[in-house]
Structure formats: structure tokens, C-alpha cells
Amino acid sequence: MSNQSTAGLLDRTIRNLRQGWRTIAGTDYDVEAASDRPDLPEGDLPALRVQMTSCLEGKGGEVSARSRAAALGHVYLALDATGRERFLRLLNDEFGADENAVEAAIGAYRRAGSAETRQEAEAQMRHALEAPRLKLLRQFNDLPDGVKFLVDMRAELLKLVRKDSSLALLEEDLRHLLTSWFDIGFLELRRITWDLSSAALLEKLIAYEAVHAIESWDDLKNRLDSDRRCFAYFHPKMPDEPLIFVEVALVNGLAGNVQALLDEDAPVQDPTKADTAIFYSISNAQQGLAGISFGNFLIKRVAGQLAQEFKGLKTFATLSPIPGFVKWLDSAIADGQQGLLKPAERKALNEAVGRAGGAKGTLKALLSDRSWIDNDLLTQSLKAPLTRLAAHYVFNEKGRGGSRARDPVTHFHLSNGAVVERLNWLGDTSPNGFKQSAGLMINYLYNLDRIDENHEAYTGHGRVAASAEIKANI
């Protein structure tokens, strides 16, 4: 993702929101609080506390409620990073559930003598457990771009929670709200095209692309040509904001190199003659929706749609990065793991670098930069061990709880029911490709008839579906 492009989009969004919400806020707008003190110093917190409480009291009609919510949102948008953190801390610390009310509700439930009384007590307990800030946050849903505002607020909050878990309750409340609002049943799948999609939307694709950076408008146009497809999910409350999008190339056979796949000078293929759909980039566009997954639905939905449009498509696969491979390998080397290199591999590396004796430290040193790619002997000497180690990493290395693949992209595709099909040597020769995975890429195969079976085997039992080629390389 282009940080500069993303920052520009964010600045523009904030300006538009502030202007629109200033009008809605009317007399509830406080110029001094919203504009003159972006760091929200301690002396301004009492006024903000009153403003939040006023939103919760709900005096007046719907118009008044919208006005107060807009005024409060306008204050938040005018704050800098320090001010936003103080705003969120106030919301987290002082507008949670009433402990006394919760204790009273628990007591009433325990004393309930009949089913009817217990049901009433349970309803009372649910009401007591709901933090007042949830009611406040819901008010933004009725404002123009209010849902996008909350998505961006959670993105800000997630960064803070990584440093300070005391804000986790507010983050959990926001995640709960957004999970219910972004149910897959509410989302619309749309194709993005060069000719029919707005320039603003195309600009967002450039900014949000997180796998293979879009270098120019010509690069984007190439990715949207007749032998390519791009699909995205949208929410009715965020009609101009892609939530997640996937880029697809219609080709013949499995693609093994992303630079060749994205070559702007390559001739355009006839998509009706393609036998393979390659999903080469899947990007989550909204950081505030992290952990709210709909990527698995996206691939299956797009595959089904493409199969309907192009009857010749027989294979659906990805060309994916292995983002955690080099990091894992560096850690394994540092920990002194035995057997990383086989004797023959070690000998070949020694000969390639012109060293006698052991190759201790050679592998890490070689991978520290890209210069080895210019040496044919080194490149060939590294191919066997790195391909084998990558196969081991994807197939065997576990992460959280020991039941899921360590690599996040591997976990994503295995959870969706894919098969680890093929490793591609020098599949991504970009700086990022070498940094993440020593230039390796991987094809995950989606057999539409076995997706559910593979999904259950992985999620239920931790079994990884892999081709014979992958298993032979472990």
C-alpha cells in the first residue's frame, strides 16, 4: 500500500467529513474545542465529557441527536494523534458498563425462582452489561459516512491496543458493532473496470493495493484489461469504499512469476481461451475491519462467477507470497536449528561462495541482500535448499496454538479449502519479494469440488492438503 496515497485519501476524507458534519452540528458545534486544541489537553476533557453525556441523554428529537453526534464526531476529526488517543481513553474508561448495575442484575438472576423471572433477570443483565459507549457509537451510523468514520476509528484504536491493552474493551465494542454491520449478507460484489468505474475508486485501488504495489495508472490499466478481472466487496453504507478486492489474471496453466504476469508489454490474451484463473492479489482495503473476515467468501464467489462467464476455465489457483518465510528462516538460523542444510547443499554453497570448511552463517549472509541473484552459481546452489525449506515452512511450521499454519497467507488459503500446489523459484524478484520470501512464490489450488472437504480437514484437524510435489520436497 502506498503510504503517501493512503494519507492523501485520509486527509481528503477527513476534510469532507468535517465540512459535512459541521453543517449538521449547527449550534452544537464548538469551534474552540474542535479546532484550537488538537492535542485535547487535560483542561478540555470536562467539556468533552459533558458533550459525550449529552449524546447519551438523547434530549430532543432525531434531528437534535444527529446534531450532537455530528458535533462530537467533528471534535474527534479535528484532533491530532495525541488528542484522538485521549478522546478514546475517555470513552473507554468512563463510559463502560455500570458495575453496580451489573452486580445487581447478576444477583437478581441468581435469586430468580421461576423461568419467567429468570428470563426477565437475564434481559436485565444483558441490558446492564451493554456499555453506554455502544449507544453513543451507534449514533454515528445515521450520519453521512458515519460507518466509515467508525471503521477508521477502530483502525486508530487497533494501533493503540497493540501498545496498551487497557483500551481493549472499547476496541471489542467497536469490533462487535462492525461485525454485525458487515455480515456477508449485507455486502455487494462488484466488478471494477477501467472504463466504467470512477476515477476516485480507481485511485483507491492504487492506494489500497497491499500485495504488489501499483506503480502507475498504466500499471492499473494493465491489471484491468480484457484478460484480467478485479472484484471487490462493498457495503451499502460505504458504497464508494472497497472493503476487500481481488485481482485475477485469465491465463493458460499455472503462473509462476508475478513480474511476467504483470508485464505491461506482454500481449493481451483472449480470455475465452484461458483455462486457468490466477488470483494474484487479495487486499484488505479497510484496516479498521481487521479480524472481520470476508476474504474466504470473496474467492469462492469470484471463482463461481468466473466459471459461469468463461466455460473454458478448469483451474482456479493463486500466485501468492510467503510473507513469513525469511523471518522464520532467520529465526531458525539464529536459534541454531540443526539440519537446515543437507551436506550436499552445504557443499554446493561452499563451492559457490569460494569457501573451504563449514558454511556456518553463509545462508543468512547470502539472504541479507539481493546480490546473489546476479551470480548463476549461487542462484542454482540456493534453489534446492530454499525451495525445500519453504515447503517445510508452509507444510509443517505452526503458529497460534499449534493448530494453524504459521504463515498468515498459508493459513488464509488453507482455511478457505485450498491445496498447497506448487512452489515457484524466483517467482517474485522485487525487493519485497526477496525480503519476505527469498523470491519464492506459491500456488494454492482451489478445487471447487473439494473446498469444503479440505476446509474441514484443516480447521477441524489441522491437516494440510498438499500436492505430491510439495510433500516430496519436505
Going by the DSSP 8-state scheme, the letter that residue 167 receives in this structure is: G
Count of structural domains, the chain: 4
The answer to whether residue 381 is catalytic is: no
Q: Helix, strand, or coil here: 357? A: coil
Same domain, 152 and 234: no
What pTM was computed for the model?
0.88
Decide which of 296, 318, 340 is a domain's last residue: 318
Q: Please tell me whether residues 380 and 412 are part of one structural domain.
A: yes
CATH number of the domain that residue 88 is part of: 1.20.140.90
Q: Name the packing angle between helices 146-163 and 62-78 (round to 10°).
A: 40
Q: Which listed residue (413, 430, 437, 461) is catalytic?
A: 413
Residue 221 sits in the same domain as residue 267? yes
> For position 231, which CATH number holds?
3.40.630.180
Residues 164 and 202 in one domain: no
Identify the domain containing residue 157 by its residue range: 3-96+131-181
**Co-location of 113 and 234 in the same domain:** no
Position 351 scores a pLDDT of: 86
Measured distance CA(351)–CA(163) in Å, rounded: 47
**Sheet containing strand 276-284, strands side by side:** 188-191, 228-234, 244-251, 276-284, 315-318, 441-445, 419-424
Pair 91, 155 in one domain: yes
CATH number where 423 lies: 3.40.630.150
From the candidates 281, 283, 320, 381, which is the catalytic residue? 320
Of 166, 181, 196, which residue is a domain's last? 181
Amino acid at 231: F
Query: 34 and 154, same structural domain?
Result: yes
pLDDT along the chain (474 residues), means of 10: 53 61 61 64 92 87 83 90 96 91 87 87 86 92 91 96 95 94 94 97 96 96 98 95 97 98 97 98 94 86 95 97 96 85 89 63 82 90 96 93 92 95 97 95 96 93 95 91
Cβ atoms 45, 119 nearer than 8 A: no
Which of 264, 284, 318 marks a domain boundary? 318
Residues 390 and 358 in one domain: yes
My answer on whether 19 and 154 are in the same domain is yes
Q: Are residues 313 and 189 in the same domain?
A: yes
Which residue in 449, 446, 442 sits closest to 417, CA to CA?
446
**Are 243 and 159 found together in one domain?**
no
Q: Is 413 a catalytic residue?
A: yes
Residue 118: its pLDDT value, please? 86
Same domain, 360 and 381: yes
